[in-house]
Chain A
Amino acid sequence: MSTHAVRPGLVHPRDFLETDRLLDDQERLLRDTVRRFVDDKVLPNVAEWFEAGTYPREMAAEMGALGLFGMHLDGYGCAGTSNLEYGLACMELEAGDSGTRSFVSVQGSLVMFPIWAFGSEEQKQEWLPRMAAGEVIGCFGLTEADAGSDPGSMRTTARRDGDDWVLNGSKMWITNGNLADVAVVWAKAEEGIRGFVVPTDTPGFEAVEIHQKLSLRASVTSELVLNDVRLPAGAVLPGVVGLKGPLSCLNEARFGILFGAVGAGRACFEAALDYAGERVMFGKPIASFQLIQRQLAEMAATVNQGTLVSYQIGRMKDAGDIDPAHISMGKFANVRGALEVARTARSVLGANGITLEYPVIRHMNNLESVYTYEGTHEIHTLIIGQALTGIGAFE
Chain B
Amino acid sequence: MKIAVCAKQIPDPATPYSLDPETHFVVRPNDQVLDDTDRYGVEMALQLAEANDAEVVLVSMGPAGNLQGVRQALAMGADKAIVVDDEGLRGSGALVTAKVLAAAIQQEGGVDLVITGTESTDGYTGVVPQQIAALLGLPALSFARKVELDGTTLKVERISATGYDDVECPLPAVVAVTSGAVEPRYPTFKGIMAAKSKPVEQPTAADLGIAADAIGEAGSGQEITSVEDAPSRTAGTKIVDEGEAFQAIVELLEKAKVI
Contact = CB atoms under 8 A, between A and B. Distances in A.
A66 B188 contact: yes
Contacts of B192: 26, 29-30, 33
A8 interface: yes
Given A26-B193, A80-B193, A65 B71 contact: no
B35 to A, nearest CB: 14
Interface in A30-63: 30, 33, 36-37
B178 interface: no
Interface residues of B, number: 18
B68 A67 contact: no
A79 interface: yes
A80 B193 CA distance: 9
Q: Give the interface SS of chain A, mostly helix, strand, loop or mixed.
A: helix
A162 interface: no
Contacts of B66: 25
A65 B187 CA distance: 10
A29 B75 contact: yes
Interface of A: 8-9, 25-26, 28-30, 33, 36-37, 65-68, 71, 79-81, 85
Nearest to A40: B186
A29 B68 contact: yes
B189 interface: yes
A66 B189 contact: yes
A28 B67 CA distance: 12
11 contacts: A25-B66, A25-B68, A26-B196, A28-B68, A29-B68, A29-B71, A33-B192, A71-B189, A79-B190, A81-B189, A81-B193
Contact of A30 (B16, B18, B67, B189): B189
Interface in B118-142: none
Contacts of A29: 68, 71-72, 75, 187, 192, 195
Contacts of B68: 25, 28-29
A373 to B, nearest CB: 26
A34 to B, nearest CB: 9
Nearest to B185: A65
A67 B196 contact: no
B18 A79 contact: no
Given A25-B66, A26-B196, A81-B193, A67 B188 contact: yes
Contacts of A66: 186, 188-189
Contact of A8 (B18, B187, B195): B18
Contacts of B196: 26
Contact of B190 (A8, A26, A67): A67
Nearest to B75: A29
A9 B19 CA distance: 12
